[in-house]
Chain A
């Protein structure tokens, strides 16, 4: 997608085609000749892993949709029929449900990597914002997919999450009823969630294409955070990055397979094996692990509207990160203070995740509030001020110098 390729196919037929639609050149310039910094570490392979997981989720999802019935009376049963009767249905379903968790695991590593190495800074602001949009779409897709199972957790997650919108003054209730297509979560809700759960992954694919496009315009960031200056600083994407990505995808698959084949329900909630019952709320409603930090933020605020604003704000704030971070140095390698605040931020996120699974009472609430405060302070106070006060370490002159210097 970086254009001006010198790619020339060998066969006459392909040359004829290439002249009319230069798709070979596009692929060649984007995924073969595309120069990548030579010093990328393994944290940079998660983009490839995410593309792989998106593919897995779409393929298994399309196949599951061939057997699933989006109706309140049959949804749970059809999932169970997939698990019992459909050939390899249990495998496809476990691949899809655990695949969602693996997808989020990979995206969180990808995001923290971007944060650590300052990958959101000029000239990559749009690239970062597209990533935030993908993440939002993933959250929506994951949530709606979870509802489709129509177990107890599905039903009550749908109820709680849609009720977030009732916090909006004046029109809140109208919006919620519009989301439901009824007076409560019911069959119309399930049907529209099914439709959207099928649609959104393809929207994600679209935004991913833009994300990759933007990446190939600005080029990849790298652990030093300084831009490549000469050919010595880069290597062609194929075979270098492809070989490295391929190795990490295989390693990631080992982790994925561990969950799918040996502990397929570890990440799920037992209550979701109870069919949805609109008359009984489970003792504790807990979202999937990948939403827990945000759930903790929501519950840490005693006011309904403010809680919802904090929840959405905690995600929305990511889009403003390129401007909140005032430092001109990208990589945390050369930012000793930022590095510490970054790791505290990681701990805060994990802590919030743990608190999201705890009942909202006593010390848990106090801890949630502390960590929520830090979450926002990191973006709104720490990052703007650090750029002014932090004393950064000297940068190397070039990527190749940093690589060769480290060896010497």
Chain B
């Protein structure tokens, strides 16, 4: 062995760092497919395309459940009384303040479309139940009103709204 000059030392260190860095980049790149494969695959994404729902058969006061992207979607044909209750509730009383107008489409006050998943821990609330005659989650006792807003119990937020639009007066497209 001979003594290593400092210039050679630097060159050697640079080589080691460069090799290590390129190796690290390769290892990181190899992780990409291993992580990405867990994401929803093409068939799942394709199956999650928008769906059309015909509202005509839903009677006033009736709530139906349809599935979109494996989530239960509640479509509630609200009665006059239910709409009124939802609209006149003072915002101060709400945990997650939101007006009823913001939760329905303009001119379609009677149609409430919700993702029927309790914002606490993901159970499906029961319809037309609880203190406010809206939704009641049997798992941990969260109570929602006729606008799907959280009123009592451990859930932090209102029932979320799915993306949807009215294709005609009696037909919506969810997604």
Contacts and interface: CB of A to CB of B under 8 A. Distances in A.
| Chains A and B form a bound pair | yes
A59 B34 contact: yes
Of B23, B33, B39, B43, which is in contact with the most chain A CB atoms at under 10 Å from its CB?
Answer: B33
A66 B43 contact: no
A174 interface: no
B37 interface: yes
Chain B contact residues, majority secondary structure: helix
A91 B44 CA distance: 19
Nearest to B40: A87
Contact of B33 (A84, A92, A246): A92
Of A66, A84, A87, A88, which is in contact with the most chain B CB atoms at under 10 Å from its CB?
Answer: A87
A92 B36 CA distance: 11
Contact of A67 (B32, B34, B37): B37
Nearest to A88: B33
Contacts of B38: 66
B169 interface: no
A85 interface: yes
B42 interface: yes
A381 interface: no
B37 A88 contact: yes
Interface in A50-108: 59, 63, 66-67, 81, 84-89, 91-92
A89 B38 CA distance: 10
A85 B32 CA distance: 16
A87 B34 contact: no
A86 B41 contact: yes
Contacts of A67: 37, 41
B111 to A, nearest CB: 35
A89 B43 contact: no
Contacts of A91: 33
A94 to B, nearest CB: 11
A81 B43 CA distance: 8
Nearest to B38: A66
Contacts of A89: 37, 41
A92 B32 CA distance: 11
Interface in A20-62: 59
A69 to B, nearest CB: 13
A166 to B, nearest CB: 40
Contacts of B44: 85
Nearest to B34: A63
A106 B38 CA distance: 30
Nearest to B42: A85
Contacts of B36: 87-88
Contacts of A85: 41-44
A87 B33 CA distance: 7
A63 B42 contact: no
Contacts of A84: 42
Interface string B2-46: 000000000000000000000100000000111011110111100
Contacts of A87: 33, 36-37, 39, 41-42
A210 B33 CA distance: 32
A85 B43 CA distance: 6
B146 to A, nearest CB: 41
A59 B32 CA distance: 13
A250 B168 CA distance: 61
A354 B23 CA distance: 38
Nearest to A89: B37
Contacts of A59: 34
B34 A81 contact: no
A300 to B, nearest CB: 43
A211 B23 CA distance: 28
23 contacts: A59-B34, A63-B34, A63-B37, A67-B41, A81-B41, A85-B41, A85-B43, A86-B37, A87-B33, A87-B36, A87-B37, A87-B39, A88-B32, A88-B33, A88-B36, A88-B37, A89-B37, A89-B41, A91-B33, A92-B33, A92-B34, A92-B37, A246-B23
Interface of A: 59, 63, 66-67, 81, 84-89, 91-92, 246
Given A67-B37, A86-B41, A91-B33, 12 more contacts: A59-B34, A63-B37, A81-B43, A85-B43, A86-B37, A87-B33, A87-B36, A87-B37, A87-B41, A87-B42, A89-B37, A92-B34
List the 3 closest pairs (A to B, CB-CB), nearest first.
Answer: A88-B33, A85-B42, A85-B41
